[in-house]
Chain A
Amino acid sequence: MSTPFWRSAPVAEPESSVPLRSAVLASVLIAATAIVNEGLVGPAATTASLIGIPLAFWWSHHHRHRESALLKLAIAVGLIAALIGFIGQVRTAQIVSALDVQIPLAELFLWVQFLHSLHLPARRDLMFSLVSSLVMLAVASVLSVGMGLGIFVLLWLGGGLTSMHLAHASRLRTKLPLTDHTPPVPRRSLVGPAGAVLGFSVLAFLVFPTARTISPIVFPSKLSVISRLLHEGGLSNPSLGGNGEDVDGGFADRSSFGYFGFAESLDTSLRGRPDDTLVMRVRAQAPAFWRGQTFDRWDGRTWSSSFDAVVPISGEEAIQTLSTLGDDRVDSPDAERFLQTFYIERPGPNLIFGAYRIDEVFFGERYLLELEDGTLRTGVNLGKGSIYTVMSEMTPVDGNLLRAADPLAVPYPNVIATRYLQLPDVPDRVVDLAREITSGESTTFDKIHALEAWMADNTSYSLDIPPLQPGADAVDQFLFVDRKGFCEQIGSSLVVMLRSLGIPSRLVIGYTPGERNPFTGLYEVKASDAHSWAEVYFPGVGWQGFDPTAQVPLFGGSEVANTGSSLLSYLAGRFDALPQIVGRSVRVAGMAILVGVIGLLSWNWRAESRRRRMRSWAHRTLEAFEEIGGRRGIARSPADTPLEYLDSLELAGIEGARRAGELITASAYGSVDLDVSDVGIVEDLVDAHRSKGRR
């Protein structure tokens, strides 16, 4: 009889190991769930992954002994359809960023995995699935910016190692065994290798260079929920309470992570620092200060901005920023393009952050509003999940260049002097102090360093300062009365003293780089990283940042050499937050360990009781055979092993006694879990001969 065309020849070596298939399925499901968990793929792909793949594995296992040409045809058609769907999604998505491709690509991977799972007859097909699951996990790794992926990586590692171990055992069993009975896969033999893998992995992680963004090949951008502002061009900051736009000081409804510096004005007398809530993550090749906005007008207590005109800027893909006041550029071959992607974790100001100077912005709306000082605002609220990418152009400068471009010696536009030398009536002793500190310095650059050094020696950083009395000058209070304060006082003092010396400067509000998470490769910026520092204008060079509060260089900081040093620094940083983290982690780890220990103990208990049962079964059954043999006049001598005795019973005509002897020996002395069918056969044999004896 000829084989129908839709049913081709049986598969060469179908894989029948259910544990192996289950382990591979677990690995594939873990990887698929890791992608789905990022919340980026659609419901169809999610269903195909979480329900379709297990069903496909089940189907594939039950049809492993035959191959169907129709099934292969259906899979091929499915693959073509998935590919067409992917191309369609990419074409209609109007690609702005790599993220627009990554998500359809992730969906395509899920569909391909689902279709592939329908046809996994042999071991090599299962191993291909395992490799495919690693690729899917890599896709999830690219999409993930949180720590949640860690658990998936660990689970996948467990599933993957088990799969490879079982596949190895399965392959060996295609050869002749040395012993007659096939021993079970040793349960403990994976523990050592798994521990070694963890050790080697940690070692590799410590020595691997840190993940970097070396070229502008990805420009992720996304808006979580588009919520347009009532007053376009205005500053909105929901973290300060109200609807985010009605910021009139006070901030009674300020959330714990709201920073009052991200407002229309900055009152340096306000108290209360934001907490350690994670507000955004930044993917960048090096740390930098993430600049938000500047203030140019000082009234002795409050900073505000004299720029109120906004200019809409837009672009098809990248939004080019405008050249604004003081944006002088050094024509240097060492100018670097510095890519940063911001992942918003908490609703905050509608400011576009970035290292100075922002050149291009990749923003989902392709529309921004720029102020005359270069501050960039969005027309929508930036909620959790919003993503944008910023390309900055950074030119390294040194002291010699800045000394040569001295605003005290080199002429510059009057409009800069008008705006950035503005001062109210500053107490004379502040001006005198500035002159006294810088009297020995001839250039602006050296004067700045002298002022910074004086403040480092004579003032201290403290969040606990007395309230500013009405009518008091904040800088005077800081320099002569309190001699302590936080970055707003310190930065303001530097700017005021510089202006009093005729050096154009301004106060900048933004964030310090935050801590680099060695796992995600992202800088984690907390609300408490909100910061203010000074920028000084150098004719021909542009604005240069100086931070009298922190020692962190404003730009051009060294990259982290390897992941190990980053990890140590990260862990050291976590030490401060131990109580919170420990509390959470201990609970989660404790639960996980508890569940693991209970699972392990139950497994061992079950295995041990099964072994005990089987041992007692062996003794019971042997006694039964001794009874049967005794009735036939074949008593067991003390020197007879069970196998020898049952051999003699076989010779005496009890067919199957020898096989029973082997099973009894294996069960009693070999710690082998017998097959239920074997046990049944032996017990039937005993019953049959007992009943014969009774008759």
Chain B
Amino acid sequence: MSWRQRARFLPTRGGVALSSLTVGIFAISQTTGAGWLTVLASVSAGTVAVGIVWPLILVRSTRFEISGPADAVAGRPFKLNVRVDRPTSGLQFEIVGLTSDPVWAEPPAAGTVEVTAQRRGVMQQVEVDVTCSAPFDLFTGRFRVGLNLPDPIYVAPQPHPMQLPDRLLGGSGGDGGGAGGSGPGEMVRGLREYATGDAMRMVHWRASARRDHLLVKELEPPERPRLVLIVDVSHTDAEKAAGEAAGLIQTARRQGHPVTLATYEPTGRLISDVGSTREAGRRLAAAIPGEPPSGPFPEGSQIIRLGQTTGTTFS
């Protein structure tokens, strides 16, 4: 447990009612001389005192452990594993900064809490609002505690549906279905015997004539243009930029384009290829405000800048 705020106390409605009654009974005992009223006022005061002190002891002795998945996506619920070892009376808690419902526990207890992160980022710590009014619900002790996670949770931005730029779409090549011969970007890897069903345009006529039987061309798969994303999360539209980057990466990878991501992270400027959507999510989660690297990038790459106040630009 890394830090803990000073506990705050507030009376509940029951606490206000009992405290007022205690004062009233005591005042009446002082005017009527009825000794039993003093006893009753003492009993009420004792109950109020325990109602104040007990939650104080309980919330101070609370022990939490929280862990979560390695990866999550902003706006999509995920589960945190929570374990509460002390105190031994019921308490209520709520995860701060993440959308979640208040949860109650009767420690020792362990379970899961469904939460939703509203923005991307790397969660090293979770804040929990702990409330306890045990055992009599007269006064509520409340404090906030920050808990270090055993492993960070990478909250990736939620991908925005994005279309690739025309140039990438045009250069995607497709299945090599041209009118004849090898088209631009098609590289002949070798020749083989003709097999039934081979397209006539794939016949290598010169070699066939030389060998006196039909030979067809074997082509290298077409090389997709590289997509380079320069994501700057320094500006107010940072979340939108990260979401768009995630969307573009998703679309580009689906279509087979290699992707290079340039961001600014706590370790400094970083340019590297992203091998998977998960890796891309972690990179985008880790991006922090700062000027991302502007090169060098492989020749022929499609470079897209995201997150600048001028808006998304393509170059």
Contacts and interface: CB of A to CB of B under 8 A. Distances in A.
A137 B39 CA distance: 11
In order of increasing CB-CB distance, the 7 nearest A-B pairs are A521-B35, A201-B46, A141-B36, A200-B46, A213-B33, A205-B42, A168-B137
B134 interface: yes
Interface of B (DSSP majority class): helix
B48 to A, nearest CB: 9
Interface string B5-32: 0000000011001100100011011111
A212 B46 contact: no
Contacts of A124: 13
A210 B26 CA distance: 10
B34 A211 contact: yes
Given A160-B47, A200-B45, A285 B84 contact: no
Contact of B135 (A160, A171, A190): A190
Given A160-B47, A172-B92, A178-B110, A141 B37 contact: yes
Given A164-B138, A176-B103, A179-B109, A189 B38 contact: no
Contacts of B31: 212-215, 217
Interface string A535-568: 0000000000000000000000000000100000
B140 to A, nearest CB: 10
A178 B135 contact: no
Interface in A169-221: 169, 171-173, 175-180, 183, 185-186, 189-190, 193, 196-205, 208-215, 217-218
A157 B54 CA distance: 17
Contacts of A663: none
Interface stretch (A50-58, A127-135, A264-272, A373-381): A127-135
A517 B35 contact: yes
A197 B46 contact: yes
B49 A211 contact: no
Contacts of A198: 46
A235 interface: no
Given A131-B17, A190-B135, A196 B54 contact: yes
Nearest to B102: A175
Nearest to A562: B38
Interface string B69-93: 0000000000000101000111010
A522 interface: yes
A205 B50 contact: no
A391 to B, nearest CB: 14
Contacts of B49: 197, 200, 204
Nearest to B44: A134
A448 interface: no
Given A176-B101, A178-B105, A285-B33, A211 B38 contact: yes
Interface in B87-143: 88-90, 92, 101-106, 109-111, 113, 133-138
A193 B50 contact: yes
Contacts of A161: 47, 135-136
B21 A518 contact: no
A509 interface: no
A283 interface: yes
B89 A164 contact: no
A211 B135 contact: no
Given A168-B90, A179-B110, A211-B33, A521 B135 contact: no
Contacts, number: 190
A152 B54 CA distance: 25
A669 B133 CA distance: 29
B53 interface: yes
A177 B103 contact: yes
Of the four ranges (under 10, 10 to 19, 20 to 34, 35 or more), the interface on chain B belongs to 35 or more
A203 B46 contact: yes
Contacts of A176: 101-104, 113
Interface residues of A, number: 67
Contact of B30 (A168, A175, A209, A218): A209
A138 B22 CA distance: 10
Contact of B39 (A185, A218, A284, A519): A519
A619 interface: no
B45 A204 contact: yes
Residue with the highest number of chain A CB atoms closer than 10 Å, among B45, B92, B137 = B137
Given A208-B38, A211-B35, A518-B35, 9 more contacts: A135-B21, A141-B34, A149-B36, A161-B136, A196-B46, A197-B43, A201-B42, A201-B45, A213-B31
Contacts of B136: 161, 164-165, 168, 193
A178 B17 contact: no
B230 interface: no
Contacts of B92: 172, 175
A137 B89 CA distance: 29
Nearest to A182: B106
B227 interface: no
B41 interface: yes
Given A175-B104, A177-B103, A153 B39 contact: yes
Contacts of A137: 40
B193 to A, nearest CB: 51
B42 A138 contact: no
A211 B50 contact: no
B43 A153 contact: yes
A167 interface: yes
Given A135-B21, A215-B31, A218-B32, A196 B50 contact: yes
7 contacts: A175-B102, A178-B111, A179-B105, A200-B46, A203-B46, A204-B42, A520-B35
Contacts of A203: 46
B104 A178 contact: yes
Nearest to A218: B32
